[in-house]
Copies of this chain bind each other. A is one copy, B any other.
């Protein structure tokens, strides 16, 4: 049961153009599955609805910059201390990207609901005082707590059709181990119908950390494994390399205009293979690290 594919094959076989709900893993400037995201751009894979972790970054902005995202379900897209997300901001302000406004609690618990077949998730009292649910009546509504009679907020389950995720390592059967922080990546894997993993390296099964409960993704949830050392660049890969802030600043500066964004895409994504990209940015030079 060898699930190891090239990045091109993995996207071609497992992410249809116009896929329904596509989740991208990683959070803020860490563990973004950029090799998979770049390949989505190369293959012009449109996404009907993109779901980020509580905090999306380049994983979302690059797909938006490429014009591939129709709707986005998120509670944050930005670059933290480096600034706002240029393509996301431009697309929303221009009215060409529909936002399904979410908050962190809903994304986190909604993914659990998706993983668990829970029909919906009832959210803590008080969250309804934020305007979020009023802006997103598709994902949220009010429900009466049957135990107290109080009106509380309910969220619909989040069950991605596809999750694009990064892990430190996996075996050929798709058993994967996460390094560092996990964010909601494991939840996305549990909730998604199809999981495409990029990893720093493919390893034999017996090298996976077995007893660390909760640090792994079992292979029966995974459809494809892509060996992509350096593949989170320019974001960080926990256990392997830090964020490349200089490259991110270059992206932010270019993507500040629509034309600039296109030239970034041409220079760093569409015009180059993943191997060439990594060589050009010298990513993965320090790849190694322990699981």
Q: Which residues of A approach B to under 8 Å, CB–CB?
A: 105, 109, 112-113, 116-125, 141-148, 150, 152, 154, 156, 178, 180-182, 211-215
Which of these, B118, B143, B212, B215, contacts A123 with CB under 8 Å? B118
A116 / chain B contacts, CB cutoff of 8 Å: 105, 109, 124
Which of these, B146, B180, B182, contacts A154 with CB under 8 Å? B146
Specify the main secondary structure of chain A where it touches its partner. loop
Query: How far does the Cβ of A129 sit from chain B's closest Cβ, in whole Å?
Result: 14
A148 / chain B contacts, CB cutoff of 8 Å: 119
Structural contact, A181 and B121, CB atoms closer than 8 A: no
A180 / chain B contacts, CB cutoff of 8 Å: 211, 213
Which of these, B120, B211, B212, contacts A122 with CB under 8 Å? B120
Which of these, B105, B141, B150, B214, contacts A146 with CB under 8 Å? B141
Structural contact, B119 and A213, CB atoms closer than 8 A: no
Which of these, B109, B147, B181, contacts A120 with CB under 8 Å? B147
Q: Bound complex: CA of A146 vs CA of B156, how far in Å?
A: 9
